[in-house]
Amino acid sequence: MLYLDHITVAVRNLQDTVNNIQKATGIVFSDPVIPFPGTIGQVAYLGTGFIELISLVDANVARTSPLGAAFASYAEQREGIFGVAWEVTGGMQAFVDEASSRDVAYIGPTIQQAPLKEGSYIEFKTAFLGFHMPWLIEYERSRTWPSPYHLTGVEFNTKDMERDVSAYIAAYNLDAPELASGHERVFKLERGWLSLHETANPAQVGFHTIVIEKEDAAYRLHCTNDGIQIH
């Protein structure tokens, strides 16, 4: 099974972005943490998922690790959604092995650690296909955080709807997406969703909007090179 777990956003000014989101939505962020060397970040824990804002502090230091190098290359060019993670249950290795039978070659699983808000760390496994596809994550132990907010969905722009729909079905063994409109397809996960929108503009291709909900409201965080616009 697959669950929308978390979304990582590269931002230039961490404190301003956190303040703007908190003011518009009421979402509370953690104290600053170091996601990996050369960066600083803050996390909003949303029940069973979270969003992570990361700002580049020292590109040379960040490039001492593979993930840091990838983040530095992205963050030096723009702000926006750097990564989307889907939690896999039932065994990461089994999922990756089964995908290989469909000629889908994941990088991983690899074991990593991430800081938590109370100062401890959580261990997890990851597997990647590329930065325009969600990566897989499997946790050593389950975790939830009390919050009235829920990470609900993420939106992706594509220039080739049929190609990308086929790629997602093959990579994640998904059912066919629902037709939401003439230019939108929605993949439903066990928790959360991914919607694909067709665009003719190659500069707009990629993940662009995070949807967060609570009982009486929904918020769309549109992540652009000019920062996060909240609707």
Show me where the domains of the chain are located: 2-230
**Residue 123 pLDDT > 90:** no
Read off the pLDDT of each residue in 17-26 and give the average, rounded to a whole number.
Answer: 97
pLDDT digits (tens, 9 = 90+) for 108-119: 888 877 766 566
Taking Cα atoms as reference points, which of 154, 231, 148 lies closest to residue 191?
Answer: 154
CA 182 to chain centre: 25
**Residue 220 pLDDT > 80:** yes
State residue 108's pLDDT score. 86
Task: Report the alpha-carbon distance of residue 89 to residue 175 in Å, rounded.
Answer: 17
State residue 229's pLDDT score. 96
**Residue 87 pLDDT > 70:** yes
Q: How confident is the model at residue 67 (pLDDT cuts 50, 70, 90)?
A: confident
Read off the pLDDT of each residue in 126-148 and give the average, rounded to a whole number.
Answer: 88
Sheet holding 206-214, edge to edge: 178-181, 184-188, 193-198, 150-158, 206-214, 217-224, 227-230
SS3 content of the chain, % helix, strand, coil (to 5): 20, 45, 35
DSSP structural state of residue 203 = G
**Residue 157 pLDDT > 90:** yes
Amino acid (1-letter code) at residue 55: S
Read off the pLDDT of each residue in 193-198 and give the average, rounded to a whole number.
Answer: 97
Read off the pLDDT of each residue in 22-28 and give the average, rounded to a whole number.
Answer: 97
pLDDT digits (tens, 9 = 90+) for 174-190: 999 999 877 899 999 99
pTM of the predicted protein model: 0.93
Neighbouring CB atoms inside 10 A of 195's CB total: 20
For domain 2-230, which CATH number applies: 3.20.20.370, 3.40.50.150, 3.10.180.10, 3.10.28.10?
3.10.180.10
Average model confidence (pLDDT) across the chain: 93
Greater model confidence, 2 or 183: 2
**Residue 203 pLDDT > 80:** yes
Read off the pLDDT of each residue in 151-163 and give the average, rounded to a whole number.
Answer: 96
